[in-house]
Amino acid sequence: MGALPVFRWRLAPDGYATRRQLRARGLRPGGQPVVAQLERPRRRRPPLVAYLYRVDLAKPVRPMTPARWAALAKANRARRICPQCRAEAVYVIPPSLGACVPCSFPDPSRAVRSA
Ligand SMILES: [Zn+2]
């Protein structure tokens, strides 16, 4: 990537906005490349950098359609299904555990003991 124009914090030219500023206006970068960056100097640390996009190239945030809500619900549900016991937990299965809590931490008092 070539060198981007760098502007000082709060001195961004009109027509440019950070991703967060676009979002506040219901916009998204929409695939455009970063066109400039803002730098905020900090003492004894590297400057804070924010990337700027062109407002005129930004696109409206895609509205949620029933199909997108359904896809989202399906994805969230899949993340609650324990891969070991196939039960649906009321929480998202933590990736660090990889299974629901009863599977990850079997209760020894309820364990079936074979004689
Ligand atoms: Zn389980």
Q: How far apart are CA 70 and CA 17, in angstroms?
A: 32
Q: How confident is the model at residue 85 (pLDDT cuts 50, 70, 90)?
A: very high
Environment of ion ligand 1 (residues, CB < 5 A):
82, 84-85, 99-100, 103
Q: How confident is the model at residue 63 (pLDDT cuts 50, 70, 90)?
A: confident
Q: Assess whether pLDDT exceeds 80 at residue 81.
A: yes
Locate the domains of the chain by residue range: 6-60, 66-107
Residues 6 or more apart whose Cβ sits within 8 Å of residue 99: 82, 83, 84, 85, 93
93 contacts 80 by C-beta, under 8 angstroms: yes
Distance 92 CA to ligand 1 centre (A): 12
Query: What is the structure's pLDDT at 13?
Result: 82
Q: Which two tokens stand for residue 50?
A: 């924010």
Q: Assess whether pLDDT exceeds 80 at residue 59.
A: yes
pLDDT in tens, 16-44: 999 999 999 999 999 999 999 999 889 99
83 contacts 71 by C-beta, under 8 angstroms: no
Lowest mean pLDDT among 1-10, 19-28, 43-52, 91-100: 1-10
Determine what percent of the chain is predicted with pLDDT higher than 70. Answer: 93
Query: What is the structure's pLDDT at 35?
Result: 93
Query: What is the structure's pLDDT at 112?
Result: 58
Whether the model pTM is above 0.75? no
Distance 89 CA to ligand 1 centre (A): 8
